[in-house]
């Protein structure tokens, strides 16, 4: 097992090195190109390469049980950052709404944006041609916060809901990351996709200005 982990570490190290070189070359191209369409494409590729690097680093933390310092993270700000990584939302005229408190802070780390990124990616991949809206909403209950990520795409058939997290790699990964926070997840959509994230006994802090 130790040898296998060493091989995985070497593989991840090599992949991250390639990504770093790829990012550097994109930056050099960016400096020498004036065409706005090409510049836009280069910018999107840079965002994608950074996202791949984040995913690899988070997988490392899971595989090797690495810990990361947590802090209060503004949910609205991190959701907006995740949304900004998908320019196709704008080009496809998909409306994105944030309906939680503007100042809601969650006790989390860098995995939070990966969760949100994978949810948006899942909607774009599986929502179907009629996908036109994505919403993040919250419901505060006593000692519990429920976060709902919804889209108005084709959704998940009722018979598939129990095993969706084992069939979809993206959703399996989301559940795995939420499990690290001890957050519970389930798919409850009736029309479209809806992931319910239940946060119990977790520090949730409304920011005071």
Query: Residue 155 in 3-state DSSP?
Result: coil
> To 5 degrees, how large is the angle CA 84–CA 88–CA 94?
90
Sheet holding 104-108: strands in order across? 71-74, 104-108, 204-206
pLDDT computed for residue 209 by the predictor = 41
Query: Residue 200 in 3-state DSSP?
Result: strand
The rounded mean pLDDT for the chain is 85
Fold exhibited by the domain 71-206: Heat Shock Protein 90 (3.30.565)
> To 5 degrees, how large is the angle CA 57–CA 58–CA 59?
90
**Confidence bin at 71 (pLDDT 50/70/90):** very high
Share of the chain above pLDDT 90, in %: 41
Tell me the H-state helices in 85-168.
88-91, 111-126, 164-167
pTM above 0.85, yes or no: no
Between CA 103 and CA 62 the distance in angstroms is 29
């Amino acid at each position: 097992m130790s040898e296998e982990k060493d091989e995985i570490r070497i593989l991840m190290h090599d992949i991250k090195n390639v990504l770093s070189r790829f990012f550097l070359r994109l930056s050099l191209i960016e400096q020498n190109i004036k065409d706005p369409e090409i510049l836009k494409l280069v910018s999107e590729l840079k965002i994608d390469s950074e996202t791949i690097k984040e995913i690899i680093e988070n997988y490392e933390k899971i595989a090797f049980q690495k810990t990361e310092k947590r802090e209060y993270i503004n949910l609205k700000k991190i959701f907006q950052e995740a949304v900004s990584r998908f320019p196709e939302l704008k080009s496809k005229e998909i409306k994105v709404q944030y309906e939680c408190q503007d100042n809601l802070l969650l006790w989390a780390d860098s995995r939070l944006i990966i969760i949100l990124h994978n949810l948006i990616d899942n909607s774009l991949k599986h929502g179907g041609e009629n996908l036109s809206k994505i919403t993040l909403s919250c419901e505060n209950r006593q000692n519990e916060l429920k976060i709902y990520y919804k889209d108005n795409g084709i959704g998940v058939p009722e018979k598939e809901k129990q095993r969706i997290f084992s069939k979809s790699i993206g959703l399996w990964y989301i559940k795995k990351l939420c499990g690290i926070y001890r957050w519970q997840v389930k798919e409850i959509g009736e029309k479209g996709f809806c992931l319910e994230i239940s946060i119990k006994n977790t520090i949730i802090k409304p920011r005071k200005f």
